[in-house]
Amino acid sequence: MNNKSLQARRDNAVPRGVATATNVFADRAENAELWDVEGNRYIDFAGGIAVLNTGHRHPKVIQRVQEQMERYTHTAYQVIPYEPYVALAERLNDLAPGSTPKKTVFLTTGAEAVENAIKVARAHTGRSGVIAFSGGFHGRTHYTMGLTGKVAPYKVGFGPFPAEIFHAPYPMVNHGVSEEDSLKAIHKLFKADIAPETVAAIIIEPVQGEGGFYIASPSFMQALRALCDEHGILLIADEIQTGFARTGRTFAVEHAGIEPDMITIAKSLSGGFPLSGVIGKAHIMDAPQPGGLGGTFGGSPIGCVAALAVLDVIEEEKLNEKAEQQGAEMVERINQFKARTDMPAIGDVRRLGAMVAFELMTGPDDSEPDADMTKLLCTKALANGLILLSCGAFGNTVRILLPLTASKDLLEEGLSLLETSLMQCAERSQAA
């Protein structure tokens, strides 16, 4: 069995719509390292797309899951409830920012979490409109595709999309969109497209994930909070990619000092096991009638105990502090690369905690996004044993999501592989 033969089987058995970023097949993984079926070793700078803040197969997570599997694996919480669901809800309610009492519902996927947050918002407000942001990613279900602010590949061929979804530009100063521009655009929506008193919610990623790791400043988040309060609109923080220590806080909105009405969670919540949820103010979360929320596998006992272990690891191993240290070291090295002339041109470098990204640029004054070089870099990195992901509306952003549990030595090794890969890209470009 090798990567080539598995790729052929995959092409015959799996629809092309399920794209893969690499052509290697996993055999085993440990913390921030992965080995493919041919025995090749890789340092994982992707973390399962922000799922593995606590690393592959953290021993405490695996232990809790194994213990739970000896007891029961499924009852359907709506039929026979169980303590891990309640215990996890209690812990998350305590961790969520703000003093308002909270309640939490558990689901299976991030898209489910977003859809249920909208359901709760509509039930509570009696309104139907929703405002999201350009470049945002909220899922691949029909409704969440409508919320997502990127056409290719997520929306191509799948329309029409649900009504009463509107988009405002996300602040991206280096692309000419200021915070003031974004707020003005929302007010323009109120004048031209939907009255504020018919808007149920505004949903925003505090740091856009697929959109390119653009960061909403504390002042912008505070302005959104004030705007929502003025018009009776609920503010939903989509923390599916930013949550659970990635940004140096349990939740990224803590940097802004605000209390959202709801927070959607998934990905690193449960260390690689399927689980998502919505944390919200208790009086808002209680708006739907009994039976209005839930799902067959929502809040599985396996996922819940894994998440309880993840929360223990974040606290015991001080992963919020480690995220700050890890992110600072990444940006220091990347800025060193940026200053060199033997590498592709690096533009904006962004980070919040260990949520790090940089853009590759081209053109006479290095002002044009270079998506081709970004693809080449990811290819070269994989060949060198480093798993990288690109993102962003222009396809020129490299994002780094190394497990926070990675050792300093492994981080340095990964950054050295990134350096080598960047130099190889420059050599190929010069040869061409």
* pLDDT tens, position by position, 379-393: 999 999 999 999 998
pLDDT band at 366 (very low <50, low <70, confident <90, very high): confident
* pLDDT tens, position by position, 37-47: 999 999 999 99
* pLDDT tens, position by position, 183-213: 999 999 999 999 999 999 999 999 999 999 9
Query: Residue 431: what pLDDT?
Result: 62
* pLDDT tens, position by position, 313-322: 999 999 999 9
Query: Residue 410: what pLDDT?
Result: 98
Query: Residue 347: what pLDDT?
Result: 95
Inform me whether the pLDDT recorded for 101 exceeds 70.
yes
pLDDT band at 430 (very low <50, low <70, confident <90, very high): low
CATH 3.90.1150.10-classified regions of the chain? 3-57+318-431
**Mean pLDDT score of the chain, rounded to an integer?**
96
Cα separation of 299 and 72, whole Å? 14
Inform me whether the pLDDT recorded for 237 exceeds 60.
yes
Once rounded to an integer, what is the mean pLDDT over residues 155-181?
A: 93
Please name the CATH architecture into which domain 3-57+318-431 falls: Alpha-Beta Complex (3.90)
Cα separation of 256 and 298, whole Å? 30
Q: Does residue 171 have a cis peptide bond before it, meaning omega lies within 30 degrees of 0?
A: no
CATH 3.40.640.10-classified regions of the chain? 72-316
Q: How many H-runs (helices) and E-runs (strands) does the chain carry?
A: 13, 16
Inform me whether the pLDDT recorded for 99 exceeds 60.
yes
* pLDDT tens, position by position, 48-97: 999 999 999 999 999 999 999 999 999 999 999 999 999 999 999 999 99
Once rounded to an integer, what is the mean pLDDT over residues 339-367?
A: 94
* pLDDT tens, position by position, 242-252: 999 999 999 99
Cα separation of 330 and 357, whole Å? 9
Note whether 267 and 50 are within 8 A (CB).
Answer: yes
Once rounded to an integer, what is the mean pLDDT over residues 296-323?
A: 98
CATH topology of domain 72-316: Aspartate Aminotransferase; domain 2 (3.40.640)
* CB atoms inside a 10 Å sphere around CB 283: 12
Cα-based distances in Å from 410 to 9, 111, 156, 335, 404: 33, 33, 39, 19, 11
Strand ranges inside 205-334, DSSP E: 234-238, 262-265, 276-281
* pLDDT tens, position by position, 329-344: 999 999 999 999 999 9
Percent residues over pLDDT 90 in the chain? 93
- Residue of 100, 104, 119, 210 whose CA lies nearest to 162: 119
* pLDDT tens, position by position, 4-13: 999 999 999 9
Virtual CA dihedral for 355, 206, 297, 149, nearest 10 degrees? Answer: -100
Once rounded to an integer, what is the mean pLDDT over residues 236-261?
A: 98
Query: Residue 175: what pLDDT?
Result: 86
Once rounded to an integer, what is the mean pLDDT over residues 121-148?
A: 96
How many residues appear in the chain? Answer: 432
Inform me whether the pLDDT recorded for 432 exceeds 60.
no
Q: What's the longest Cα–Cα distance across the chain?
A: 66
β-bridge mates for residue 215, sequence order: 207
**pTM score of the predicted model:** 0.96
